[in-house]
Amino acid sequence: MSWYDYPQVFDILYDTDTRIEADFIEQIVEKHCSSLGNVILEPACGTGRMLREFYRRGYRAIGFDNNPSMVAFAKRFKPRNRKRYNVTPGEMSDFNYKQGVDAAFCLFGTFRYLLNDTEAKGHLRSIRKSLRKGGIYILGLNLTDYLSNRFAGERTVAERKGIRVTCNIKCWKPDARKRLQRFRSRMNVIQDKDIWQHETTWHFRTYGPIQAKRALSAVDGLKIVEMYNYDFDIDRTCKLYDAGLDRIFVLKKI
């Protein structure tokens, strides 16, 4: 089983910055979106934490995920207006919301799960089809330092209603030829007197700055109009070759 098969734990782990992330997305929508911006889509929405937040803010929030456990957890939310919140099964590389959305976002780095150019281009084509003209796609992407020889990692601790989750993520040196990088997560969960652990390993596709620009410019009708980093400051834009590896790209349908 994958750590994505434990949606309650996953929701606790990554819910800490939900409001900050939603504030930032709203600011980008207000700055860059040509349409009203009231219909918002999240591919690979996971537990639906961001969609729940946008629903509470008055948006029509829709999303999809390919993990049945995540979809079932997201559907546990019971909105008063069922027309403004909807989560369905779906694949990132092939989808189409024909009714049109004003904005879409994917900040969690899930784009890197698309392990080849065909899947990545399929995803961006699906985004273009789903966006209304003038709509935007806010995409978080962690660039790769191919020259780094050290193992990197991060540790996250979160707690909710007596459940404490500690997650350690480690990544190995990227394979520049295959454009793959190995990751491992180790979760430790404490609830009352029960303690359990879980480990998941996977590969992400790697992107240097040139590779990222090439991939995100590969679909006609989508244009990169702005870049930010993960300090979530709307007044602080960045450029592709600036220091740091975290980028948030704003793509507009033209």
For residue 61, CA distances in Å to 87, 92, 97 come to: 9, 17, 12
Report pLDDT for 1. Answer: 76
Q: Average pLDDT of 42-70?
A: 97
Q: What would the pLDDT profile of 105-162 be if each residue is shown by its tens digit? A: 999 889 999 999 999 999 999 999 999 999 999 999 999 999 876 668 899 999 999 9
Q: How far is CA 4 from the centre of its chain?
A: 14
44-67 burial code (b ≥16 CB/10 A, e <16): bbbbbbbbbbbbeeebbbbbbbeb
Q: pTM for the full model?
A: 0.95
Report pLDDT for 150. Answer: 66
Domains and CATH numbers, the chain: 3-143+207-253 (3.40.50.150), 152-205 (2.20.130.10)
Instruction: Judge contact between 236 and 226, C-beta under 8 A.
Output: no
